[in-house]
Amino acid sequence: MNADAMPDDDSVLDAYSRAVTAVATSVLPSVAAVTVRSDRGSGGGSASVISRDGHLLTSAHVVEGAARVSIAFADGTELPATVAGSDPLSDLAVLRADGATPPPVPWGDATALKVGQLVVALGNPLGLAGSVTAGIVSALGRSLPTRSGRVIDEVIQTDAALNPGNSGGVLADSRGRMIGVNTAVAGIGLGLAVPINPTTREIIDSLIRTGRVRRAWLGVAGAQVPLAPPIAAKVGSRTGMQVASVVEGSPAAQAGARRGDIVIALDGTPITSVTGVQRQMVEHAIGRRIEMTLWRSGALVDVVVEPEELRAG
């Protein structure tokens, strides 16, 4: 392509500005500043409308320990709200507004994102309501440890500027669809967002329906390990999860899992990491007999495990 055929800087910037402006115009009215009062004092964050009956999505750490919650929209509307449900393991929470809210932000799907794609962050950083920053998806598939000790996987990394108060706000694509919930500032030019995907949509739906999320529990802890070439060729994967410990009396212990086993598959799904096991431990696995394939002493071993419900604490 010759130089005359290349787009000039002004036209590229105009297109960028038009995209960001369109997102801000469509999404900002449905983004709220959140004020939280608790026994420890007051704090704030952001939230976005996700249903026509007044549900808003935010981060669990924003409303942790909340005694009173209020929300304020860009048009000046202020409403009290209650915490309808919170899930610290995914750092997601749902609020219910006491009053009419703007239209919901449309859902996107983070599984379709590509590195380098334009994203727009909207929220309430440092108490500055209605703020907009833009950037790109700088990486995908990051992991984020939560305060509970569990790891959120498939986290989106962006260079869109985030600051305290952005938590719970929208990370939108260029079409104004929510593809993430801003959750953490990991450094200058490095922000993280919990993705909107089929797994998190199930969590959000559960919080709306019942106020909680039920998860299954096996009772094993471990770490990702590389598989030796002969094993990798046999099982079709380069990595697995090696069991470091098995809780006495747990479903895994009753099934015969041992320290040193490498989990290769669970319920027919290949397991390549710890998060692969976490992803399988959803509500419909509770009380169901599931086949777990292990690599032990040079051979594949199949055991049947019946996960229990994960209990808080």
Can 61 be counted among the known catalytic residues?
Answer: yes
Catalytic residue among 91, 131, 206, 261: 91
Catalytic residue among 30, 48, 138, 167: 167
Measure the CA–CA gap between 75 and 28, rounded to whole angstroms.
10
Catalytic residue among 48, 59, 61, 250: 61
Q: What secondary structure letter does DSSP report for 107?
A: B
Q: How would you class 94 by CB atoms within 10 Å of its CB: exposed for 0-12, middle for 13-18, buried for 19 or more?
A: buried
Contact 218, 304 (CB under 8 A): no
Non-local (6+) Cβ contacts of 102 within 8 A are 29, 30, 49, 73, 75
| CA distances for 215 relative to 21, 23, 28, 218, 304, angstroms | 40, 35, 34, 10, 18
Contact 79, 98 (CB under 8 A): yes
- Both structure tokens of 78: 């202020």
Beta strands in the chain (DSSP E): 31-38, 41-49, 55-58, 66-73, 78-87, 92-97, 118-123, 131-145, 151-158, 170-172, 178-187, 190-195, 216-217, 220-226, 239-246, 262-266, 269-270, 290-296, 299-305, 308-309
Measure the CA–CA gap between 262 and 224, rounded to whole angstroms.
9
Can 55 be counted among the known catalytic residues?
Answer: no
Catalytic positions, written as ranges: 61, 91, 167
